[in-house]
Structure 1
Amino acid sequence: MIVNERQTPEGLLVAVCDEDVLGETFESEDVSLTVTEEFYGGETVDEGTVADSLARAAVANIVGREAVELAIAEGFIDEANVLEVGSTLHAQLLWM
């Protein structure tokens, strides 16, 4: 998986995606999602590093079946809140 971390005034923003979805566009009825290098591009890491990044995130965007399923398994995302966009999964995390 690929992780990109950025500090923002609101806290750490983490973008996570599966390697095979980077650069792809996914569409469903009312949603179009492009997984851009600019936003999602970063370091290729293992599952433990992804979980650590998500644990420190104030906000996270997660794309791809592997990444979203990991976020669910680690308790960051409730499966009921996952969007299926075309052939992939997308979830967002926001701690308030």
Structure 2
Amino acid sequence: MIVNERETPEGLLVAVCDEDVLGETFEEGELSLTVTEEFYGGDAVDESAVIDSLAQASVANIVGTRAVELAVEAGFVDEANVLEVGATLHAQLLRMQ
């Protein structure tokens, strides 16, 4: 998986995606999701590093079947809040302080 972390005035923004979805565009009805290098590009990491990043995130955007499944398994995202966008999954995390 690929993780990109950046500090914002609102806290740590984490973008996570499966390696095979980087650069792809997914569509579902009127919804379109492009997994850009600019936003999602970062370091290739293992699952434990993804979990560590999500644990620190104030906001996270997660794309890709495995990345989203991992976020659900680790308890960061409720499965009911996962979107199917074309052939992939997408979820967002917002931690209120």
Same fold by TM (over 0.5)? yes
The superposition leaves residues 15-50 of structure 1 with CA deviations (integer Å, 9 ceiling, x where unpaired) of 000000000000001210000000000000000000
Shift of 1:89: 0.1
> How many residues matched?
96
The superposition leaves residues 47-87 of structure 1 with CA deviations (integer Å, 9 ceiling, x where unpaired) of 00000000000000000000000000000000000000000
Distance, in Å, in 1 between the alignment partners of 2:91 and 2:31 is: 13
Q: What runs of 5+ residues in structure 2 fail to find an aligned partner?
A: none
What's the TM-score, normalizing by structure 1?
Answer: 0.99
Q: What runs of 5+ residues in structure 1 fail to find an aligned partner?
A: none
Q: Any runs of at least 4 consecutive aligned residues in structure 1 with deviations exceeding 3 A, and if so which?
A: none
CA RMSD of aligned residues (A): 0.3
What's the TM-score, normalizing by structure 2?
Answer: 0.98
